[in-house]
Amino acid sequence: MRIEKRLESIGIVLPEPPEPVASYIPYRITGNLVYISGQDCRVNGELKYKGKVGKEVSEEEAYEAAKIAVIRCLSVLKSAIQDLDKVVKIINLHGYVNSAEGFTRQPMVINGASDLLVDVFEEKGKHSRCALSCNELPFNTPVEVEMIVEIV
């Protein structure tokens, strides 16, 4: 099944790729690798969730925020390569969690992004990653995700 059809079958329509909010570019291609800049959980230009995970944002909401962030990464990826079927594999994912003091379940939050990539790309979606705690993230987003993708 084509990747965009698979996305559609699970109820995901990729938004327009987001514009950078600071001095960076949304992606960089070098050789057969695409580096996607960090994405947050904005929907229609507004953060869906705001605050620290384990305080203002529940773990479940943060899991959803990670899914939204990786959908935004896929939107940027599509703008970079035009056809998501050019993906050979997802190489690496970095997930950052705006964590309240004492919150230590960052891997479960970033599973929101990882689980979606495996659902969409199957074996090609399995990746290495890190899930890090941050004391603050830009704009008070609970989650930020960036990724590296191998393409043909």
Kindly indicate the confidence band of residue 1, based on its pLDDT and cuts at 50, 70 and 90: low
The confidence score (pLDDT) of residue 108 equals: 98
Query: What would the pLDDT profile of 38-51 be if each residue is shown by its tens digit?
Result: 999 999 999 999 99
- Backbone phi, psi, residue 118, to 5°: -70, -40
- Residue spans per domain, the chain: 3-11+25-143
The confidence score (pLDDT) of residue 90 equals: 98
The secondary structure of 10-71, three-state, reads CCCCCCCCCCCCCCCCCEEEECCEEEEEEECCEECCEECCCCCECCCECHHHHHHHHHHHHH
| Average pLDDT taken over every residue of the chain | 97
**Three-class DSSP category at 115:** helix
This prediction has a pTM of 0.97
Average pLDDT on 30-41 reads: 98
Closest of 147, 39, 23 to residue 84, by C-alpha? 147
The confidence score (pLDDT) of residue 76 equals: 98
Looking at 3.90.470.10, 3.30.1360.120, 3.40.920.10, 3.30.1330.40, the CATH number of the domain 3-11+25-143 comes to 3.30.1330.40
The secondary structure of 64-109, three-state, reads HHHHHHHHHHHHHHHHHHCCHHHEEEEEEEEEEEEECCCCCCHHHH
Kindly indicate the confidence band of residue 35, based on its pLDDT and cuts at 50, 70 and 90: very high
Query: What would the pLDDT profile of 63-85 be if each residue is shown by its tens digit?
Result: 999 999 999 999 999 999 999 99
Query: What would the pLDDT profile of 103-137 be if each residue is shown by its tens digit?
Result: 999 999 999 999 999 999 999 999 999 999 999 99
Give residue for tokens 């994912």.
Answer: 93
